[in-house]
Homo-oligomer: A and B are copies of this chain.
Amino acid sequence: MGRVRAARPLVHHITNYVTVNDCANVCICAGGSPVMTDGEDVADMVAISSATVVNIGTLNARTVASMEVAFGTASGKGIPMLLDPVGAGATTYRTEVAERLMGMHPTVIKGNAGEIGVLSGLGGDVKGVDSHGSSDVASAVETLARATGSIVVATGETDYVSDGSVTYRLENGTDMLGNVSGTGCMVSSVVGCYIGACGRSIEAVASAVTAFNIAAEVAVTRCGGPGTFRPALLDAMFNLDGETLDDRARCERA
């Protein structure tokens, strides 16, 4: 966390227009500097960024083309890139776009358990942009990580992260995260900050997810429902210190 704040990585995003503001703000609270562009200057902006985060939540033909430019540029320059395949499995178009972007070798693929289940080939149930994963999410992340060479994260009640050889089970978080739109997108932005500062590293990815989840644990004690949870979550992410992280982190080999 200190390393991210010291580096203040510029994190480029092409994300959905539903939760983009929360992504920008959580990125700042995690120590990064967000920039969103999906227009004619995508390649130029990615080229000066420390990481790029692509989220297909509200994709269309124009933005999908921009996503490919973003990943192409990042790939060519060795800039860490994250794919959040929102809704893969819900429609054929989303699954196909997710698979095409997955083929461009993102550093990290982060989805919910259902999306990762579908993309891993082990199966999952995706309804709109919500989902339920297979009973064996640990296998899904490991399988997809091996197949793609990416670090794979599946979020849910328990989160799993795998690079194909090591898999972690992350037990932090709160059910309240499921009552706010875009908390999964926010995780992606935080991971973007961490890989922007630290490069490809399963420990960095696991740390990012755990930091976000611990901020959520703090926030849920200071809110009256989903509405006040969200500002409390940003406050908690901003105010998070190393001691709280060390005390609360529940991360172990799966």
Q: Enumerate chain A interface residues (CB-CB to B < 8 A).
A: 10, 12, 16-22, 24-25, 28-29, 33-41, 44-45, 48-49, 57-63, 87, 90-94, 127-130, 179-182, 222-228, 230-239
Q: Give Cα distance in the complex from A25 to B41, angstroms.
A: 29
By the criterion CB–CB under 8 Å, are A224 and B235 in contact? yes
Apart from the given pairs A223-B235, A227-B237, 7 other A-B contacts in the complex at a CB distance below 8 Å: A12-B128, A25-B180, A25-B230, A29-B226, A44-B91, A224-B239, A226-B235
Q: Which of B28, B60, B127, B129 contacts A38 (CB 8 A)?
A: B60
| A17 surroundings in chain B (CB, below 8 A) | 17, 20, 36
Given A36-B16, A41-B93: A225 and B230 interface contact (C-beta under 8 Å): no
Which residues from chain B contact A28 at a C-beta distance below 8 Å? 179-181, 226
B-side contacts of A49, CB under 8 Å: 128
**Interface SS, A side:** mixed
A39 and B93: CB pair below 8 A? yes
Bound: A130/B60 CA distance, A: 28
Top 8 closest pairs, chain A to chain B, by CB: A227-B234, A225-B235, A39-B60, A227-B231, A35-B128, A41-B93, A24-B181, A41-B91
Return 20 A-B CB contacts under 8 Å, by A number: A10-B128, A16-B36, A19-B24, A21-B22, A25-B226, A25-B230, A28-B180, A28-B181, A29-B179, A34-B128, A34-B181, A37-B59, A38-B58, A39-B61, A39-B93, A41-B59, A41-B94, A45-B91, A48-B128, A227-B237
How far does the alpha carbon of A128 sit from the alpha carbon of B8 in the complex, in Å?
12
Contact of A35 among B87, B232, B235 (CB under 8 A): B87
Using Cβ atoms and an 8 Å threshold, which residues of chain B touch A223?
A: 235
- Measured CB to CB, the closest approach of chain B to A201, in angstroms, equals 23
Q: Would you call A236 and B226 a contact (CB within 8 A)?
A: no
Q: Are A36 and B24 touching (Cβ within 8 A)?
A: no
